[in-house]
C-alpha cells in the first residue's frame, strides 16, 4: 500500500550532501512523511518525520514542499556508514501503520 515513489538507486561522494527525493502526490492533510533506513542485515532505523514544516535532527534534514506532494531527505555530510536503503513512508492519520515500498539504495563512494 506504499503511496510514495523513490528512485531505485543513487550514489553520493563521501563528505558531500546526499539528497534523496520522494514523491507522495496523493498525500492527505493529516498524513505524516517518515524516513527510515535499513543497513544490510539490520532492522529499519528511524531517521526523521514531518507533517508540513521542514525538520532537522542530528541525523538529517527533511524538506517538504509547500503543496506536500514531495519531500527530500538531506544527509549533510555523507559517510560510508550511510550506505543503506532509504525508505520514504506516508503514515496514515489513523492507526500509525508503516507501509514500506522498495526504497532508494544509497551508495556512498569513497
Partner 1 sequence: EAGVAQSPRYKIIEKRQSVAFWCNPISGHATLYWYQQILGQGPKLLIQFQNNGVVDDSQLPKDRFSAERLKGVDSTLKIQPAKLEDSAVYLCASSLMGLANTEAFFGQGTRLTVV
Task: Give the residue, chosen from 21, 59, 100, 107, that forms a contact with partner 1 under the rule CB under 8 A.
Answer: 100
What is d(CA 3, CA 68) in angstroms, rounded to the nearest whole number? 13
Give the interface segment with partner 1, choosing from 19-27, 36-44, 55-63, 64-72 (CB under 8 A): 36-44
**Is residue 30 a contact point for partner 1 (CB under 8 A)?**
yes
Q: Residues with Cβ < 8 Å from 101, sequence gap 6 or more?
A: 2, 4, 5, 6, 87, 88, 89
Query: Which x/- pattern over 40-59 shows residues binding partner 1 (rule: CB under 8 A)?
Result: --xxxxx--x-x--------
Nearest distance from residue 16's CB to partner 1, in Å? Answer: 26
Among residues 63 and 101, whose Cβ is nearest to partner 1?
101
Nearest distance from residue 29's CB to partner 1, in Å? Answer: 11
**Is residue 86 a contact point for partner 1 (CB under 8 A)?**
no
Q: Specify burial of residue 10 (Cβ count, 10 A radius: 0-12, 13-18, 19+).
A: middle
* Cα 80 to chain centroid, rounded: 18
What is d(CA 108, CA 26) in angstroms, rounded to the nearest whole number? 31
- Decide: 73 and 57 in contact? Cβ < 8 Å: no
By the criterion CB under 8 A, which residues form the site for partner 1? 2, 30-32, 34, 42-46, 49, 51, 85, 87, 91-103
Amino acid at each position: 500500500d506504499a503511496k510514495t515513489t523513490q528512485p531505485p538507486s543513487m550514489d553520493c561522494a563521501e563528505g558531500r550532501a546526499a539528497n534523496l527525493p520522494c514523491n507522495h502526490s496523493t498525500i492527505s492533510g493529516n498524513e505524516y512523511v517518515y524516513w527510515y533506513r535499513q543497513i544490510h542485515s539490520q532492522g529499519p532505523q528511524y531517521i526523521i518525520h514531518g507533517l508540513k514544516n521542514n525538520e532537522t535532527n542530528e541525523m538529517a534534514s527533511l524538506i517538504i514542499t509547500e503543496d506536500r506532494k514531495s519531500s527530500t531527505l538531506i544527509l549533510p555530510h555523507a559517510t560510508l556508514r550511510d550506505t543503506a536503503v532509504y525508505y520514504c513512508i506516508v503514515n496514515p492519520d489513523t492507526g500509525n501503520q508503516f507501509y514500506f515500498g522498495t526504497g532508494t539504495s544509497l551508495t556512498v563512494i569513497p
